[in-house]
Structure formats: structure tokens, C-alpha cells
Amino acid sequence: MRQTESPEGKSVRLLRVGEQVRHILSDVLTRGDVHDEVLASHTVSVTEVRMSPDLKHAVVFIKSLLGQDEEAVLKALRTNTAYLQRAVASRVQLKYAAKLKFRADESFDEGSHIDRLLRDPKVAQDLADD
């Protein structure tokens, strides 16, 4: 049996399940279902969920609004992991409940760093010569 793959090389099923998990976690966090003071006082975006090939593990990338208190938000999410795993397991029909691992999403910081570099007058001068 051949697995359908996306251009990135990941199977469509992994991407689909990851996106489902992302939507569920976003919904749970937006509605304030997790009774935690830190999570209640911060807006948290779930930017991406990467599933392992066996769908038993998920790495959840998050970004707090304006990057404020990101370590405190990560700690709160890790403290409430069991609740969030149950919320996901009850809404995603999989054989096993995925173990969630939370990480800060650094891609926005990298993007803004590259943008600053490209706007540097020396770099802009080099690019204008082309």
C-alpha cells in the first residue's frame, strides 16, 4: 500500500491529524476550558502541530501574544498536559491518545531577524546593485 505524500514529504494523514489537533487545542485555549491563571491571562496561538509517524506523539508549537511570558505559558501548558491530552483524545478518533509536547515557536523570531537583516542599509545596497 502506497502512502500519499505532500510536497514536503510528510503523509497527508499526518498533516491532517496534526491540523485537527491544532484546531482542537486552539479551541480549548480560546474558550478558556483550562482553569489556569497564566493561560487565562494570556492569549496563546497554536501555530503548528507535528505528529510522529505512528500518531502517538505530537509536538505542539505555541506563541503567546507579543511573545510575553512565553516561559510561564509553556510551564502552564506542561502542567495541564493531561487535561489537554484528554480533550484531544475525546475529539480525535485515533487508536491511541497522542502524547503532547509543548515548545515555543521560534519561526516568527527568525523571520523578523531575516527581515531586519534585509532592511540593513549595507544589504539593501548590495541587493540594489543586482
State pLDDT tens for residues 29-54. 999 889 899 998 888 999 999 999 99
| Residue 5 placed within a domain | no
Residue 5 has pLDDT above 60, yes or no: no
| Lowest-confidence pick of 3-7, 70-74, 81-85 | 3-7
Closest by alpha carbon to 69, among 38, 47, 40, 48?
A: 38
Q: Please state the φ and ψ torsions of residue 59, each to the nearest 5 degrees.
A: -100, 120
Residue 26 has pLDDT above 80, yes or no: yes
| Residue 109 placed within a domain | yes
What percentage of the chain reaches a pLDDT higher than 70?
79
Quote the domain boundaries for residue 51: 12-129
Residue 96 near residue 56 (C-beta atoms within 8 A): yes
| Residue 7 placed within a domain | no
| Residue 43 placed within a domain | yes
| Residue 52 placed within a domain | yes
Count structural domains, the chain: 1
**What grid cell was written down for 23?**
484546531
pLDDT at 85: 94
pLDDT at 8: 54
| Residue 31 placed within a domain | yes
CATH assignment at residue 124: 3.30.300.20
| Residue 50 placed within a domain | yes
| Residue 6 placed within a domain | no
